Structures are given as C-alpha cells and as structure tokens.
Amino acid sequence: AIPLVVARSTAIAAQNGLLIKNRTAFENARKINIMVFDKTGTITVGKFEVNRVQSIHPDYSHDDILSIAAALEQGSEHPIGQGIMEKVKELSLEVPNATGAHAITGKGISGQVNGKEITVGSPSFAKQFIAQLPANPDAGETLVFVIAGDRIIGYIGLSDSIRPTATGAIKTLREQHIKTVLLTGDNKAVAASVSKAVGIDKYIAEVLPHEKQKTIQKLQQTPAFVAMTGDGVNDAPALAQADIGIAVGSGSDVAAETADIILVNSDPEDIVNLVLFGKATYRKMI
Ligand code: ADP
Ligand code: MG
C-alpha cells in the first residue's frame, strides 16, 4: 500500500509542476547533495538568436557564411540550427541545397553544399581543422565556425536567454546545502558567463554526450547523491545515470522517457518544490 502522506504529496507535486514517474526517486529527493544542470534549454530557454556573422575568406560574403550554414541546418533539430534558420528568414537570404547533411552529436553538422564539404561546429571541434582559431567567443556567446574542406571560412555568434526563475532556484538550492553544477557541450566562455549570472557553483564545459554520463558517475563516487536536470537527447544517458533524473517538459521525448520526474512547466523553480517536498514528506513519514 502507498503511505497516505506519499499519495497526498504526489498530488501536491502535480499541482506544483512536477510529474512524478518514479515514486522512489521522488521520495529520495531529500538526499540530493549535488544538482547538475544542462545549460541549453534547461537553465536557458533554448532559443538562439544570431548576433554576428563574419566571413574571413575573400570568396565569401557575410551573407554567404550564413546561407551556407543554413543549407546544412535546414533539417536540424538543434536550437543553434533553428537560430540560424530564423536569421536567414529575417534577411530573406536564399539557402542553397545541401546533400548528405548529418549531425555530429555534441560537435556540429557536416554535409556537401555547392559541391564542397562543409562543416559547422563548436570551437573545440574546429580546432581539429586549425590550431589557432580566428575568433574567440564573447562573454555569454555561443560561437560556431563554418569550415569548407579544411579551412575556416567564417563564424557565427549566437546567444540564448536565461530562464527568469533560474537564479532564484539556484539560491534556494544553496540554502538547502545542495551544490550546483552546470554541464554543457557549449564553450567555456558561455558556461562561465551563465553560471556566474545564475550563481551556479561550478561549470564543466565542452563535454560530449557520453562524457555527461561519465561526469555524473564521477560525482556519485565522491560520494554524493546526484540529481541531473536536462532537456536534450544528449542528456538522456546522464539522466539515466543520475540518482534522480529530471527532464524539462519542453525538451525532447527521449529525455522525458528517461527521467524519473518531469518539470511540466519547464520552470527551474519547480525543482525547489521537489527538494522541499522531499524533505517535508520524509518528516511526516518518520
Ligand atoms: P548543449 O550541451 O549545450 O546542449 P550540444 O552537446 O548539443 O550542446 O552541442 C555542443 C556544441 O556543439 C554546441 O555548442 C555547438 O557549438 C556545436 N553544435 C552541436 N550541434 C550543432 C549544430 N547543429 N550546428 C552547429 N553547431 C552545433
Ligand atoms: Mg539542453
């Protein structure tokens, strides 16, 4: 039989934006020592806007850089791809056809545009092509490089906005003695800037999806009871590894299927409810 206090608290949880898929995980929320957050779509809204486009090759205009990138990104589900497509639409640029476009998870996207092998990807990925990158991300900026063959021909700077309730949520977690960690595939500069803005204790940047899971495992061995909140397909292994996996409602189906708890309103503040309810429920049971 389900203890009455637990049944009641599950109903209260539902009223507070928490969909409990795994009751044991919910009851264990009081044990959390470390809360790990994905960045894009979790702490931030996950909607990128293009702020700057730069060509560094005489054969290509700034608009060419954007439309070549868009050629690859038109089928992409990645928020960076969607941000690039928005900008192209806004500028009414013509987008060439691409063939063989394929995502390189956690790194970028590749394919052929106008008979040339093109890659759009992260700074750490671009470093495989050229040791000295032609630009660094500004504070809070997500930067992607456009590569033709083995030459960087330009770059695109994008930004995302922080979810308004994130800072308050982090503050309450700190008051509950829970350590917070930001875990992202994005560059160090943006990870540092976002963690600082919301008060997250520590950031780990430029991590690939399988490394996200490894990181959770390492944190668990410190030892700690680790919860992870994420939204992406790339967060699913980490959500499964965590002692409590929390998915953002607006995120991917894969994340929601893997998680123990879903933030129905995609509001980081509701994580606080989870932690506080966990403690309150436990007190009532003993
Ligand atoms: P996050 O942890 O922020 O969800 P991802 O693991 O999805 O990030 O991606 C990490 C980095 O790889 C991005 O910040 C970006 O630089 C690059 N990247 C991934 N997918 C794409 C794409 N479709 N287009 C351009 N860059 C991409
Ligand atoms: Mg994400």
How many angstroms does the Cα of residue 212 sit away from the middle of ligand 2? Answer: 12
Could you state, in order of their start, the residue ranges of all structural domains in the chain? 4-44+163-285, 49-159
Average pLDDT, the chain: 93
- Say whether pLDDT at 6 is over 70: no
Q: Is 80 in the pocket of ligand 1 (CB under 6 A)?
A: yes
**Domain covering 49-159 assigned CATH 3.40.50.1110 in the classification:** no
The reply to whether 49-159 shares the fold of 4-44+163-285 is no
Spatial distance between the Cα atoms of 204 and 184, rounded to a whole number of angstroms = 6
Q: What is the pLDDT of residue 255?
A: 95
pLDDT over threshold 80, residue 285: no
Question: Is the CB of 144 inside a 6 Å radius of any atom of ligand 1?
Answer: yes
Q: State the pLDDT at residue 129.
A: 84
4-44+163-285: in CATH 3.40.50.1000: yes
pLDDT at site 56: 97
Global pTM value? 0.92
Integer Cα distance of 180 and 199 in angstroms: 9
Ligand 1 pocket, mutate which of 39, 102, 107 (most atoms under 8 A from CB): 107
179 lines ligand 1 (CB under 6 A): no
At residue 183, φ and ψ (nearest 5 deg) are -125, 115
Reported as a single tens digit per residue, the pLDDT across 151-188 is: 999 999 999 999 999 999 999 999 999 999 999 999 99
pLDDT beyond 90 at 11:
no
The model's pLDDT over 216-256, given as tens digits with 9 standing for 90+, comes to 999 999 999 999 999 998 999 999 999 999 999 999 999 99
